[in-house]
């Protein structure tokens, strides 16, 4: 399993903890930055992570910024990306179970460092349920190709 990871300057402190935990889980990690507190534009980071998934360099992505909202909005602009803003284990489970999310978005201001590992565990151990959710996801894919 390969996970591509991108953070902005607000989430640098969480990044190493996330990378370490993913590696403990046996995942290979692609680090798409940033690595210090110098301000960066989160859409640029989201684009790199989305590209890794779209080109199949990675199976999943993780994006973190101060709120997680900007990263999720930016990532969801790319075809085939299903980025979910998650703040707890239940949201992580439902993001995978019902929405087949392939990008986990975290707000560093709202998720405590001690809560990040259980969220990661839940997200990556939960499989997509399928069934009635497949019909709904198909509609979302249609939207990606629609001009309204």
Catalytic residues: 65, 98
145 three-class SS: coil
In sequence order, the 6+-apart residues with CB closer than 8 A to the CB of 21 are: 116, 117, 120
DSSP 8-state class, residue 127: P
Q: What is the DSSP string of 30-47?
A: EE----SSS---HHHHHH
d(CA 34, CA 45): 8
φ and ψ of 134, to 5 deg: -65, -40
Torsion, CA 142, CA 90, CA 8, CA 26, rounded to 10: -100
């Amino acid at each position: 399993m390969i996970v591509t990871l991108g953070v902005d300057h607000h989430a640098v402190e969480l990044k190493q903890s996330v990378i370490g935990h993913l590696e403990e889980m046996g995942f290979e990690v692609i680090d798409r930055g940033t690595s210090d507190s110098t301000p960066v534009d989160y859409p640029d980071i989201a684009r790199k992570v989305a590209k890794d998934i779209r080109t199949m360099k990675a199976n999943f992505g993780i994006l973190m910024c101060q709120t997680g909202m900007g990263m999720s909005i930016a990532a969801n602009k790319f075809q085939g990306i299903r980025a979910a803003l998650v703040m707890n284990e239940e949201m992580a489970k439902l993001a995978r179970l019902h929405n087949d999310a392939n990008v986990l978005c975290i707000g560093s201001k709202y998720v405590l460092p001690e809560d990040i590992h259980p969220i990661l565990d839940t997200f990556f151990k939960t499989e997509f349920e399928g069934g009635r959710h497949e019909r709904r996801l198909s509609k979302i894919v249609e939207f990606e190709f629609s001009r309204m």
